[in-house]
Structure 1
């Protein structure tokens, strides 16, 4: 079922969403000072491309002051606008029965889009296991 939902997601918006995160990552990496947000954008792009079967967890060891400050800057510069776009897209997707799971996936992406630093994307069958252990 995850594969079917991922293919439907990919066709009805996931590709363009992932592409936008990927392009944002390139811009952030070009600007040098914003490389941490660029890396986070690349991570989110992969998640946006194939979201079903994966989930977002906090990185082990908690987030440091740098991640917290980085997330605050991100929220003010881009996070709010990305959240608005996810909510708008989710409402549009939820208008059809087949789009309801896609809308839920779109809403599920809001926390990592709002505060990308200090987060990790893992398979949902093991949400508390980290690749850092």
Structure 2
């Protein structure tokens, strides 16, 4: 079932979201300071391509306040806009019964887009 969901997701918009994340990642990696943010954007790219069958977990290792500071910076630099777009698409997809699985995937991406540091995709 996840294979079929991933194929439909990829054809009907997943590839465009992944390209958006990839371009943002390349732009962020142009500076040394932006490299950690670019790596997190690549994490979002990976999940945006094929989200079905994957889940987001909090990492077991604790890096203390570093991840918190990076998430705060991420939130103000662009995370809020990514989060809002995923929430909007999630609500839009959940209007129909057929779109509910795709809406759930947008909500999963929204959670990761809001605070990507300290999370892993399994």
TM-score of the superposed pair, with normalisation by structure 2:
0.94
Q: 1:75 touches 1:115 (CA, 8 Å); kept in 2?
A: yes
Question: Is 2:64 the partner of 1:64?
Answer: yes
| CA displacement, residues 26-70 of structure 1 (integer Å, 9 cap, x when unaligned) | 011012211101001011101110001111111122242111101
Gaps of 5+ in 2: none
Q: What CA distance in whole angstroms lies between the structure 2 residues aligned with 1:94 and 1:15?
A: 20
Q: State the aligned residue count.
A: 122
Residue of structure 2 in register with 1:7 after alignment:
7
Post-superposition offset of 1:100: 1.2
Residue of structure 2 in register with 1:44 after alignment:
44
Residue of structure 1 in register with 2:105 after alignment:
105
Post-superposition offset of 1:95: 3.0
Q: 1:37 touches 1:116 (CA, 8 Å); kept in 2?
A: no
What is the RMSD computed on CA atoms of the aligned residues? 1.1
Gaps of 5+ in 1: 123-133
Q: What CA distance in whole angstroms lies between the structure 2 residues aligned with 1:51 and 1:12?
A: 13
Q: What CA distance in whole angstroms lies between the structure 2 residues aligned with 1:81 and 1:107?
A: 14
Post-superposition offset of 1:116: 0.8
- Structure having the larger proportion of residues in helix: 2
Q: What CA distance in whole angstroms lies between the structure 1 residues aligned with 2:118 and 2:70?
A: 10
Post-superposition offset of 1:90: 1.4
Q: What CA distance in whole angstroms lies between the structure 2 residues aligned with 1:21 and 1:63?
A: 25
Residue of structure 1 in register with 2:28 after alignment:
28
Residue of structure 1 in register with 2:95 after alignment:
95
Equivalence map 1:77-96=2 (5 Å): 77-96=77-96
